[in-house]
Structure 1
Amino acid sequence: MADTTARPGLDARGFIAREGSPDLVPGPFRPVVAAARDRLAGVFGARLDSAYLYGSIPRGTARVGRSDLDLLVVLREEPADADRAGARALDAALDAEFPQIDGAGTLLFGRARLLSERERYDMGWFLACLCTPVLGEDLAAHLPRYRPCSLLSRETNGDLAARLPRWRERVAGADDTDEARRPLVRFMSRHLVRTAFTLVMPRWNGWTSDLREMAEAFAVYYPERAGQVRDAAVRGYEPTGDPAVLGSYTDDLGPWLAEEYARVHGVKAPPPGRPEQGL
């Protein structure tokens, strides 16, 4: 049964409130955001439908020299190879030009796919609740309001079991250096904490994007795994290059979490033809 206690991240009617705002962008990051916004039309031209910020920068929690710039770009048609190459070039240029960010990443989606029924509780929710519009029509107007429910849990993070084989391949193929392993630890830590949180989200009945708050919400319901998830939350912000950490993710915490997720919420069916994002 869901906990009916009012939680952070919900509006007065119990819907997940949209996080982030242009007004919350910290001063040091405003030139980066302005440059990205100004260059998007040059990269994508008439194919550009709309663009959004997400992550710590629009939430106002970004750290100079430590946080990355995260963009979601929606195109009028499905992304082509030229679009992906343009996005990579834009990311590299912004990262090289602005020392206040530690990398940049652009997600590309076609408008029809993003607004499709299949994406309604995944990328649709992501845009409507976690993204801040910076260019074009705000497509959130075409999407429903969202509550912390089991369907949302399954559709956002119910694919961990399918990801684990790819994670193991990436770990096995990485150079044997701390520098090579740290990005993997950072990404996997964040993904596992978010999956752990959405496992309990309907019971906790709220939303947060803060990794430490996510870990504490999870700990209420799974105290036996709380220490692992709390440690992962710390590494999501301050990653190490310890190979034992990656092994624990792919061979212990990850498989357990995937199995428990399937038991509680079910497994997300892979969308046909959807471009793979991330690891």
Structure 2
Amino acid sequence: MELPTRLGTDEAGYVINQTDVTRIQPMFRPVLDAVIQLLREEFTEALHSVYVYGSVGRGTAVARRSDLDVTVIVKREVDVDVLKRRTMLLLQEHPEVIKIDYDIGLLDTVLEPTNHVEWGFWLRHMCACVDGTDLSHRFPYMKPDARTSRALNRDLSDQLREAQVKLKARCMTGSEKRSLVKRMIRGAYLTINVDDQSFVSTITDSLFVLRLYFPNSEIIDDLERGMESEEVQDDWLGKLIEQYGSLFLPR
């Protein structure tokens, strides 16, 4: 395949949003509806809007293996402790997803002009509104941008440091390890997507593009192996994180 691949963009180079409410599979509607109701009850008048993203929003989720990823915009600071506890109970009633992740943003922060390459990109190109007033239409269509990729990768270094601590303490679960490996793959892709003029949505596509740019990389081999493995060993993953940092993290 010729480079740049320009995957995930239209003929003019703008990122295509792969998420749409019409793509949500029927089996995941009940848990999504339950999450929306929970957010309404917990945040009441502070809740502005709710968005779905990830595999559920793209219609590619797999029952009992996929997460439900939700972006929540609120009008003021909110306490999430009760939300977290109630979410754990909700998961017991809805085993079709293994985890529910919330990305919570303040309305004023989202609408701040300096944040449009981060929040604006996220809502316009990665999410679909499922409750409240849709903010995505307030932002323009965008092309792959280094500022966006840096923003999406901002927390990766902290996540890897926290993971190293948990791995040394032998307290990282199998699902946490697999989620981390996927995050590492995504993070690596975001270091090259602007040069590739692309913005893919899935881990499989991220690996595909990485292979084109790093055809003989043992680190990419290991990332793919870690994603597919049923059991990821602590020491192996800890070593992989160290090698990964030397190639993909800023110095």
Q: How does the TM-score come out when normalised to structure 1?
A: 0.80
Match of 2:125 in 1: 129
* Conserved? CA contact 1:216–1:230, under 8 Å: no
Distance 1:57 1:233, change over 3 A: farther
- Distance change >3 Å, CA 172–CA 99, structure 1 → 2: same
CA distance in 1, matches of 2:185, 2:175: 15
Q: CA deviation at 1:60?
A: 0.7
CA deviation map 1:170-217 (0-9, x unaligned): 322343xxxx34133223211211111111111221221111211121
Alpha-carbon deviation of 1:238? 5.2
Paired residues of 1:212 and 1:230 also in contact (CA < 8 A): no
2:249 is equivalent to residue 249 of structure 1: no
**Does the CA-based 8 Å contact 1:68-1:103 persist in structure 2?**
yes
**Residue ranges of structure 2 left out of the alignment (5+ in a row):** none
Task: Give the CA deviation at 1:69.
Answer: 1.3
For 1:37 and 1:118, the matched residues in 2 are separated by: 29
Q: How does 1:48-63 map to 2 (within 5 A)?
A: 48-63=47-62
**Equivalence for 1:23:** 22
Give the AA of the match of 2:41: G
Q: Give the partner amino acid of 1:17.
A: I
Aligned to 1:76: 75
Equivalent positions of 1:202-213 (< 5 A) are: 202-213=194-205
Q: CA deviation at 1:237?
A: 6.0
Q: How far apart in 1 are the matches of 2:31 and 2:229?
A: 23
Paired residues of 1:87 and 1:106 also in contact (CA < 8 A) = no
Question: How much has 1:134 moved relative to structure 2?
Answer: 0.5
Q: What is the TM-score normalised by the length of structure 2?
A: 0.88
Deviations 1:81-138 (A, max 9, x none): x2x1232134213211112111212222111122334533233322221111001111
**C-alpha distance in structure 1 between counterparts of 2:244 and 2:12, whole Å:** 35
Q: What does 1:133-172 align with in structure 2 at a 5 Å threshold?
A: 133-158=129-154, 160-172=156-168
CA contact under 8 A between 1:75 and 1:108: conserved in structure 2? yes
* Alpha carbons of structure 1 residues 230 and 57: separation in structure 2 relative to 1, 3 Å: farther
What is the identity percentage for the equivalent residue pairs of Structure 1 and Structure 2?
23
1:181–1:243 contact (8 Å) kept in structure 2: no
SS of 2:198's equivalent in the other structure is coil
Amino acid at match of 1:229: I
Q: Does residue 103 in structure 1 map to residue 95 in structure 2?
A: no
Deviation of 1:45 (Å):
0.3
CA distance in 1, matches of 2:227, 2:100: 17
**208-217 vs 86-95, greater mean Cα deviation:** 86-95
SS of 2:216's equivalent?
A: helix
- Does residue 195 (structure 1) correspond to residue 194 (structure 2)? The answer is no
C-alpha distance in structure 1 between counterparts of 2:132 and 2:13, whole Å: 28
Structure 1 37/163 Cα, relative in aligned 2: closer, same or farther at 3 Å? Answer: closer
User: 1:155 offset after TM fit, Å?
Assistant: 2.5
Q: After TM superposition, give the deviation of residue 44 of structure 1 in Å.
A: 0.9
Identify the residue that residue 249 of structure 2 maps to in structure 1. 258
Are the counterparts in 1 of residues 226 and 232 from structure 2 also a CA contact under 8 Å? no
**Alpha-carbon spacing, 1:90–1:118, altered in 2? closer, same or farther (3 Å):** farther
In 1, the alpha carbon distance for the partners of 2:154 and 2:224 equals: 19
Rounded Cα–Cα distance in structure 2 between residues aligned with 1:200 and 1:18: 19
Deviant stretches of 4+, over 6 Å: none
Hey, what's the Cα distance between the residues in 1 that align with 2:142 and 2:86? Answer: 32
The Cα RMSD (Å) is 2.4
Q: Any gaps of 5 or more consecutive residues in structure 1?
A: 263-279
Once residues 141 and 237 of structure 1 are traced to their aligned partners in structure 2, the CA distance between those partners, rounded to angstroms, is: 37
Shift of 1:248: 2.4
In 1, Cα distance between equivalents of 2:44 and 2:155: 34
